[in-house]
Structure 1
């Protein structure tokens, strides 16, 4: 029968022989995890990421370029935007379906056909001067939108529902500088807007004071 020391010694020797094997296994697992790691870095370890690879950088640049191209404003209205049919619809103030109006270069903004065609020309001239298209805060307003503004704004700052020039699609509220009468944008519009049949009405210079409000100046009586 072996002594206790002999038994312990034999087991210790066997355990010692397992160490190199475990080292190989762990090394293999580590190598596998490195091989499976994302090539473009990512979040994680204290050492930080290596950053995006060349392929991803190239794809990102292409995506940004395509997005920028898509953001360019069209210089002409759609072919079915016909000024000669601008007042043929017969709808009352604020009740004009958007399908009867013409879309502006700015998203979700619409005007009556004749006003829209003139606006496109004004927008092109503005972009040539300032390097960007006009900023439009509001154009055509439905009757419901007129009611909402009339009830929420200070007295005199919104037309009574059914009486707004926005409701017949011939008025625009500008932004991005035009709302300030001392800005280069406002001054440029004062000097040039009438060439494109747009005006800043006399009432908007005083009470209520609305430097941002501009109107198409032809056929408003219709």
Structure 2
């Protein structure tokens, strides 16, 4: 076995060298074809790919800057000073007369929305997140659906809800439970922004999540 090993070793090195030489020559030929005669063509392609990779970075920076700049501001086309001029029946306020809230698919009357944005900013500073809104303005039809589907006393009759006036919001994210830091913070601070938790909502029915803007404190 030793002899056979020696013979194999004598011829395997030259053969391996020839094979490597062939592979190297093939690599040069491919590099010449792909890189215009420059074996570094593949490296140039890699560098080009590296330069293209950060294309998504500007969007990432924009998102980060948006988060760092704090919660959204009241849209410029919302006019709180004109809210008192509105004269629509409960639940019949046109969409164009409402102001969108930062929370998706939620809206309020312009003056209530303006105050909410300020309250939302203060809440964000305290808790590091925006307020959670489960329900805000409701159309007459939506209020009718709730009145029919919910237990007696849990929804005002259509045409009688403060939601239909665009000045009420049902909150979540901790506010819906009395005694939580979120609920207690709102009790202590919401009044500075024109928002309050009506007296009836402490007991009849008990709705810690229901908050209203301005006005009196009956239903």
> Which shows bigger deviation, 56-65 or 123-132?
56-65
1:79-123 residue CA offsets vs partner (Å, 9 max, x unmatched): 232222103231101010111011111122111111111111111
Q: Which residue of 2 aligns with 1:157?
A: 154
Of 189, 198, 201, the match for 2:198: 201
Of 181, 186, 190, the match for 2:187: 190
- In the TM superposition, residue 207 of structure 1 has moved relative to its aligned partner by 1.6
Aligned partners of 2:51, 2:180: CA distance in 1, in Å? 45
Q: Which residue of 1 aligns with 2:75?
A: 78
Root mean square deviation, CA, Å: 2.7
Q: Superposition pairs for residues 10-21 of structure 1, below 5 Å?
A: none
Of 132, 135, 138, the match for 1:135: 132
Question: How has the CA–CA distance of structure 1 residues 129 and 161 changed in structure 2, closer, same or farther, with 3 Å as cutoff?
Answer: same
Q: Which residue of 2 aligns with 1:97?
A: 94
Of 178, 181, 186, the match for 2:178: 181
Which SS does the other structure have where 2:92 is aligned?
coil
Whether the 8 Å contact between 1:86 and 1:113 is mirrored in structure 2 is: yes
Question: How has the CA–CA distance of structure 1 residues 187 and 161 changed in structure 2, closer, same or farther, with 3 Å as cutoff?
Answer: same
Q: Superposition pairs for residues 108-127 of structure 1, below 5 Å?
A: 108-127=105-124
Which consecutive unaligned segments of at least 5 residues does structure 2 have? 1-48
Whether the 8 Å contact between 2:137 and 2:163 is mirrored in structure 1 is: yes
State the TM-score, normalized to the length of structure 1. 0.68
State the TM-score, normalized to the length of structure 2. 0.69
Question: How has the CA–CA distance of structure 1 residues 66 and 206 changed in structure 2, closer, same or farther, with 3 Å as cutoff?
Answer: same
The runs of at least 4 consecutive aligned structure 1 residues that moved more than 3 Å come to 53-73, 218-221
Q: Which has the higher helix share?
A: 2
- In the TM superposition, residue 140 of structure 1 has moved relative to its aligned partner by 0.4
Which consecutive unaligned segments of at least 5 residues does structure 1 have? 1-52
> Which shows bigger deviation, 124-133 or 101-110?
101-110
